[in-house]
Amino acid sequence: MEAAKVTLSRKARLGAALRRIWAPFRRVSLLSWLLGALAAVVMEQIAGTQVAWILGLSKIPFLFGFAIVLETAVHTPSALPFVLVSAVLYVSIIYILPVLLVARLTTGLGNRIAAFFMNRSFFLGVVVHLVLLYATIHIWSDISDYRVLVMRLTLIAIMVTLSLNLVNGYMGEFSCSHPGFMALGAYAASVFSLVFFVDDRLFGAPLLPASMGPFMFPLGLIAGGLVAALGAILVAVPSFKTRGDYLAIISLAFMFIVKSLFENLEFVGGPRGMGGQPEWASLPVVFGWAILSVWIINNFVRSTVGKAMNAVRDGEGAAEAMTVNTQKTKMVTFLFAAFWAGVAGGLLAHVVSYVNPGSFGIQKLAEVLAMVYFGGLNSVVGSVVGAVGYSVLSEALRSLEIYKWIIIPVLLILVMIFRPTGLIAFKEFDVAKLIAPKDERIEGEEVEYAPIAD
């Protein structure tokens, strides 16, 4: 009894201390944070190499120092303390310090600008935030090709995770067919590019001048998405007749069928796969599509259909009784999710310039499911966090080789046990709230938020 009281008060004291440290940053708006991040990456661009050199690191640590610390721990443990200190110093000097400093210094300005945007033109505000975000990402990635690749793959992972979250989180079904949809999209978009714009071993001379390619690329991606949606009809028609775990099995069988189909289609390369896609999926293109997908999917889940989705999940009979057209809702959602998975697959094919059936199997399924459930069901922010977190973790642990595939599953199991619906589940993503100025009086230190019911 006494002990419990002590720990409680200790916890409260810790919380109070954290709040005191955080106090100067409570009124920092998103705009200021973005400015801070921009300052940090510019700083890295200008002085990163020198700082790394002074700290005794051979090059700029590419992933906030995680990768280099782990690599040292694995290969040369004797140098670990030195590298650890250097990495921490590097991250503090290059990232943390500028972010905090600039964010704090521009707090007033940022709030005023944000208020201006909110009052005059919300749209302009969003655009300015996106431009700042893109600039940050671009400058950060500019350090090395590896960062560009990781960044593009992460953005694609966000799209896939979001689209699967529509079915598994918002609609409460369990779909296993996303790798299949990605494969359909990837192959369709690749065939589109290769037939029209590339002189290729499989399809011969291009039908259109190659210079038109980048402008027609969105059409190819949309075609990929539509093909994936077409495939989704094959899954949806038989499986939405009954409720339950039916979709899980049908979609699993569908995934195997798609993979096996591409292995047997010789005109797209069979099991060897198909290469030579032009690298049109550059960072700005992928960023644009990712933002588009987040925007559209976020609007979708907040629309009437989105509400209907949740109603179907929570009680299909009740939803039906309340005049929700459950059949239509399920079909629309599933096809919509498949479309975005197809687009993401098409982008992926043009990032790595190669597709083969083997990469759209069980492994991919486990990865995508892990991202969705890690981040959180029924939540756009959760999906972004899940995809980014999983990708970063996966890259950071790369030097551990196969032990990576023990650590990641263990982490995920822990997340499942302690937060069964994922890290950030059931949160609405409200852009207006996100970019709003934060300088209204924040009062009431004693305000306690009610615990979120599980």
Partner 1 sequence: MDLFLQNFFSLQNVVNALQLGSFYALIALGYSMVYGVLMLFNFAHGDVFMTGSYIGFFIASGLVGLSAAGILPLPNWLILALTIMLAMILTAFVGMAIERIGYRPLRDAPRASAAITGLMIGIILETGNLAILGASRQKFPELIPTVTIEFAGTRITNTKIMIVGLSLLLMIGLHQFVRRTKWGMAMRAMAFDFVVVPLMGVPLNAIAALTFALGSALAAAAGIFFGMAYPILDPYMGILFGWKAFVAAILGGRGSVLGAALAGFLLGFIEIFVATIFPSTFRDLIAFSIILLILTFRPHGFFGEPYSARLRL
Per rule CB under 8 A, is residue 412 in the interface with partner 1?
yes
Q: Which position among 208, 233, 406, 442 is part of the footprint of partner 1 (CB under 8 A)? A: 406
Per rule CB under 8 A, is residue 413 in the interface with partner 1?
yes
> Which one, of 25, 16, 193, 15, lies nearest residue 96 by Cα?
25
Q: Which position among 64, 134, 174, 295 is part of the footprint of partner 1 (CB under 8 A)? A: 174
Give CA 142 to chain center in angstroms: 20
Q: Which position among 409, 440, 442, 445 is part of the footprint of partner 1 (CB under 8 A)? A: 409
Per rule CB under 8 A, is residue 248 in the interface with partner 1?
yes
Q: Which position among 250, 283, 393, 435 is part of the footprint of partner 1 (CB under 8 A)? A: 250
Closest CB to partner 1 among 53 and 405? Answer: 405
Q: Footprint of partner 1 on residues 414-453 (CB under 8 A)? A: 416-417, 420-421
Exposure letters 46-77 (e unless 16+ CB within 10 A, then b): eebeebbeebebeebbbbbbbbbbbbbeeeee
Q: Which regions of 217-356 does DSSP assign to beta strands (E)?
A: 274-275, 354-355
How many CB atoms are located within 10 Å of the residue 223 CB?
A: 18
Per rule CB under 8 A, is residue 271 in the interface with partner 1?
yes
Tokens of 424: 């950030």
How many CB atoms are located within 10 Å of the residue 42 CB?
A: 17
* Residues 166 and 350: beta-carbon distance below 8 Å: no
Q: Which position among 15, 56, 108, 238 is part of the footprint of partner 1 (CB under 8 A)? A: 238
* Residues 33 and 99: beta-carbon distance below 8 Å: yes
* Residues 311 and 319: beta-carbon distance below 8 Å: yes
Q: How far is the CB of 72 from partner 1 (least distance, A)?
A: 21
Task: Say how far apart CA 420 and CA 255 lie, in whole Å.
Answer: 26
Q: If binding means CB under 8 A, how many residues of this protein chain bind partner 1?
A: 43
* Residues 2 and 10: beta-carbon distance below 8 Å: no
Contact track, partner 1, 360-379, x by CB under 8 A: --x---x--xx--x---x--
Per rule CB under 8 A, is residue 172 in the interface with partner 1?
yes
Q: Which position among 132, 202, 261, 392 is part of the footprint of partner 1 (CB under 8 A)? A: 261
User: Can you spell out the DSSP letters for 28-95?
Assistant: --HHHHHHHHHHHHHHHHHHHHHHHHHTT-SS--TTTTHHHHHHHHHH-GGGHHHHHHHHHHHHIIII
Q: Which position among 115, 195, 257, 352 is part of the footprint of partner 1 (CB under 8 A)? A: 257
Contact track, partner 1, 281-320, x by CB under 8 A: --------------------------------x-------
Q: How far is the CB of 423 from partner 1 (least distance, A)?
A: 12
User: Which residues contact partner 1 by CB under 8 A?
Assistant: 168, 172, 174, 238, 241-246, 248-250, 252-254, 256-257, 259-261, 263-264, 271, 313, 362, 366, 369-370, 373, 377, 402-403, 405-406, 409-410, 412-413, 416-417, 420-421
